[in-house]
Amino acid sequence: MFYGYSFMGIDIWYLVLVLPAFVIALIAQAKVKSTFNKFNQYRTMSGLTGAQAARRVLDANGLQFVRVEHIKGELNDHYDPQTNVIRLSDSTYNSMSIAAVGVAAHEAGHACQYAEEYAPIRFRMALVPVCNLGANLSWPAILLGYLFGMRPLVFIGIVLFSLSVLFQLVTLPVEFNASSRALAAIDSSGLMNQDELSGAKKVLSAAAMTYVAALAVSVANLLRLILIFGRRNRD
């Protein structure tokens, strides 16, 4: 029997909302890896490594105090605002490829955002402690509220979960802006020619789509929770 959210014990809203979003997220992850691997095979004419490119972008923006360090791994590059360090992975730090230079410049773009106090990244940083709390407590609150019939606790859990969705939403302009800064810096400093710049744009665009896909999964889960528990409240 169909109860509005299940059919023969199958969660309809999971199949309709979450599963398609999850598949899209998997496709986005595969796309970023394949795009990076493709342009990781082509060396830039400048011959600069990812680390050198990041350093060039940082220095051009007066960020000599930001360090560039090497870390183990692949595609786990990131900027740490607490220590003012850009950490570049094995696939980026010493590589002279189009993909590596693009990724390194993107991380330098994040450093520039923090230095300029770019509004969306300041808002995202302010959300971090609240979102961490929400991530840890949302599902326990929902499950306990459901098991013990405490509807207000379920509602609190859904609100806490929505904070992580908000965090991912705010992350989108941060990531797109960092990529725009990276491409502008690459172009203005002559780190790549126009053909190489086009390849770097494809790499960064593919990476940005993983954030869009992650947001889609979170939104789908949030809608699923609202539809399931909202109906049960009405019943």
Active site residue 74: no
| Identified catalytic residue from 69, 74, 107, 116 | 107
What's the number of CA atoms in the CB half-sphere (13 Å) around residue 211?
17
- Spatial separation of the C-alpha atoms in residues 90 and 234, rounded to whole Å: 54
The residue to which tokens 């023969």 are assigned: 8
Candidates 211, 167, 223, 230; CA nearest to 14 is 223
Sign of CA dihedral 141, 146, 147, 148: positive
Using an 8 Å Cβ cutoff, are 226 and 158 in contact?
Answer: yes
> Which residues are the active-site residues?
107
